[in-house]
Structure 1
């Protein structure tokens, strides 16, 4: 049996949960509890592209909300980049 998540011939959905995490999901499989369809059905590549554009910060929403002063790159949003040398 082949993996339905790798089947480029079928359509997929983009799912999102309360933590704003995304999942690629085959249309023939029941959407699990706690997840909502936010895109699709569409070809696999189109759904993957949508997820790539939408899910720009991999941290769960609860972590982003708890530590808002940190940017997506993990550094403080209010700090200047280091030059690696001292004056």
Structure 2
């Protein structure tokens, strides 16, 4: 399916997350690459973007957050 043929009101996406806790969306009819995993939410592009906006409150990668937390403990 090409981008020109995608209907934003009907095309289904799934929300995915990587090892750094970075969120993205993926077409539900496509195989998800190994470095992403699903979070259990599917919907239209807008619904998925709204979900990500709600749950992804700290956009810093996990490795950076971890380093900063360790530095704060010292």
Instruction: State the number of aligned residues.
Output: 69
Find the aligned partners of 1:7 and 1:56 in 2 and give their Cα distance. 28
SS at match of 2:39: strand
What value does the CA root-mean-square deviation take over the aligned residues?
A: 2.3
Structure 2 unmatched runs, 5+: none
- The structure with the largest helix share of the pair is 2
Instruction: Give 4+ residue runs of structure 1 displaced > 6 Å after superposition.
Output: none
Report Cα offsets for 1:29-62 as digits up to 9, x if no partner: 1101121111332122111111111111111101
Larger radius of gyration: 1
Q: Under a length normalisation based on structure 2, what TM-score does the superposition of the two structures give?
A: 0.77
